[in-house]
Amino acid sequence: MNAPLVLLASTSGSAPTQLIVWTIVSIIGIMSVRRNKDLRILVFGISFTALGVLLIRAIH
């Protein structure tokens, strides 16, 4: 299996930085809407969509 390659393959030098920024922005977003369940679910959805885009960009 090529599972380790998913974590290591990156043609973009800024991919690790983008993932760190994604983590920070996601945490801030979740903390800011932690009392509103609907907005929290929306933030989770947007966050994981952004993560998917970042991972696809990092792999290709």
What is the reported pLDDT for 12? 61
Spacing of C-alpha 47 from chain mean position: 6
Q: For the chain, which residues make up each domain, given as ranges?
A: 3-59
What is the distance between the alpha carbons of residues 39 and 45, in angstroms, rounded to a whole number?
Answer: 10
Cα 33 from Cα 26, distance rounded (Å): 11
Flag whether the pTM goes above 0.75: no
So what's the pLDDT on residue 11?
Answer: 55
Instruction: Answer whether residue 51 shows pLDDT above 60.
Output: yes
* Burial of residue 57, with CB atoms counted within 10 A of its CB: 0-12 exposed, 13-18 middle, 19 or more buried: middle
Residue 43: phi, psi to the nearest 5?
A: -65, -40
